[in-house]
Amino acid sequence: MDQSAAHEALRGKGRAEMREILGAEYTEARDRSTNPFNAAVRALSEEMAYATLWTRPGLDRKQRSLITLAMICALNHPHELRIHLVAALNNGCTAEEISEVFTHAVAYCGFPAAIDALRLAEQVLKEQGALPA
């Protein structure tokens, strides 16, 4: 069986999932900036993260958003945290739940990681209308 057909099948599924989670506007802007330098990582993200992981049973999208925020807080990657904060709102997480993830993080990741994540979350949730500006 043909490898590139396999990759294409997964990409199509992943792009549909990504569009539901991150929105059409995000997905289209992302497509416009895809180029040979970044195309492989983006295809992997579609095939692996969105087609293969986010669609699995066992945890629903909202639970996956909560653990994704928890992991990225621990890993200290603000740019990706921003994207997954938008995804979390789209997946049904409330402002209170998001605040609780990072408050809980104090015990396991320490204050610097928790405070950095919470400050960014406050900013993103205000931009998204999920907190009063």
Write out the binding residues for a second copy, residues 14-33 only, by CB under 8 A: none
Residues 35-64: x where in contact with a second copy by CB under 8 A, - otherwise, as a string? xxxx-xx--xx-xxx-xxx--x-xx---xx
- Contact (CB, 8 A) for 49 and 87: no
Select the residue interacting with a second copy from 15, 17, 61, 72 (CB under 8 A). Answer: 72
Length of the chain: 133
Residue in 15, 17, 46, 68 binding a second copy, rule: CB under 8 A: 68
With CB under 8 A as the contact rule, the residue among 28, 29, 92, 103 that binds a second copy is 103
CB burial class (10 A; 0-12, 13-18, 19+) of residue 22? Answer: middle
